[in-house]
Amino acid sequence: MGPAMAAETATALKARRMAAGKKAAETKARMKREAIATAKAHHPTRLPELQPLQRARGCLVGGAVGDALGGPVEFLSLAAIRSRFGPQGVTKFEEAYGQVGAITDDTQMTFFTAEGLIRAIVRGRERGLSNFEGVTYYAYLRWLHTQGVPWDRIPQCSGELDGWLVGEKALHHRRAPGNTCLSSLAGPMGEPYQKLNNSKGCGGVMRAAPVGLIARSYGSAFHTGCQIAAITHGHPSGFLAAGYLAMLIAELMDGARLQDALDRTDAVLSQWREYEEVAEAVRRARRAAGSQRPTPENVERLGEGWVAEEALAIAIFCSLTADDFRSGVLAAVNHGGDSDSTGAITGNILGALWGYEAIPADLAQQVEAREIAETLARDLLELSAGNDRVQPRQIERYPGW
């Protein structure tokens, strides 16, 4: 090999090395891009390091935040929202019911769901005999009392007005409660497929999330979610949407990815009678999330959210397309429908998915009744774990009936 050839070989070698180096850098960059895209596509990322309490607090406080963001625009059209708050619509807490960050009936009833579940657990530990829906029915009667009905005018209740939650004066306000909830609680308790009424308003699904925080199995979460909604809502879509949300939350509590949780919950839904309407609403939401941005117009294509399957669908669409907690709940409230309920359900889902710390501090700190949400999240987890005898202080706070 002559010197010229050697020089050429050295040059070629250098060029090859440089090309290889460039290729490696390109491959690395591509892999990074793919990893980010995968994380986004698999959004939500699995976060196994999150503790159950972070998810439970996220679920209940997140729901309250979504509710309070939507409360001021619950009865406004999209055009009215834009003319009052600007082209972006609501971007922070606005005033409703005389204060900024006020929760509404959605959060109030969610709290009483949580209370009912805890009291059912206490009853089961004390007496060995209990069911969630029967005890939660009485919790809803305590909520009815907070709406201005004297306790002695609620004939189904022979017991005392006890437990700490009903003593929370912050909950004794009427914040546009649903007519179905008010009227059906004046009568006997409804059950799935018993046709108490034909309502499929979103009043069942909007309060069902706590069921998912304590579920022993996903199937039982679905079943119990249906039962506690059917106390007031007789149409299958009214209670099946609640069962759906309860199981979805139970899956997320265990760290499931949102898409996987939706797949499995879809499968359980299809085992129930008269499930097609809810299934179709969820299918439309999932399909839309694959190709559409969460603009108000796209949200409104899924409906208005006054009925259960539409409220669930809007929450699923806004959760799947959310870049973060704030953008998700804001998308869920800026439309012409039932903004506080769709905001609340979206907040429940994203809070359970990403945990309490994902809720921006300005929202978490300012929302009304945050301490109540946090207390209930902690007590739900504490009482549902293990089978120890309940302490006297727990019985006093959550009497077992």
Q: Which residues bind Mg ion (CB under 5 A)?
A: 104-106, 340
* Burial class (CB within 10 angstroms; exposed 0-12, middle 13-18, buried 19+) of 79: exposed
User: Which amino acid is present at 192?
Assistant: P
When the beta carbons of 96 and 120 are compared against Mg ion, the nearer one is 96
Minimum distance from residue 105 beta carbon to Mg ion (Å): 4
Least spacing, CB of residue 339 vs Mg ion, in Å: 9
3-state SS, residue 147: coil
Smallest separation, CB 252 to Mg ion (Å): 23
Q: Are 372 and 111 in contact (CB under 8 A)?
A: yes
- DSSP sequence for 52-109: HHHHHHHHHHHHHHHHHHHGGGTT--HHHHHHHH-TT---S--EETTEET---HHHHH
Q: CB 340 → Mg ion: shortest distance, Å? A: 4
Query: At closest approach, how far in Å is the CB of 108 from Mg ion?
Result: 8
Q: Closest distance between Mg ion and the C-beta of residue 107, in Å?
A: 8
- Nearer Cβ to Mg ion, position 106 or 277? 106
| CB nearer to Mg ion: pick between 162 and 304 | 304
Residue number closest to Mg ion, CB atom? 104
User: Would you say 106 or 310 has its CB closer to Mg ion?
Assistant: 106
What is the dihedral sign for C-alpha 323, 329, 335, 341?
Answer: positive
Nearer to Mg ion, 262 or 312 (CB): 312
CB of 177 to Mg ion, least distance (A): 7
Other Cβ atoms within 10 Å of 76 Cβ, number:
19
Nearer residue to Mg ion within complex by CB, 266 or 340:
340
- From the list 250, 315, 248, 311, the residue with the least C-alpha distance to 286 is 315
Q: Which is nearer to Mg ion, 105 or 277 (CB)?
A: 105
Q: Let me know: does 108 contact 144? Beta carbons within 8 Å.
A: no
Contact in structure between 214 and 117 (CB atoms under 8 Å): yes
Distance of CA 39 to the CA centre of its chain: 22
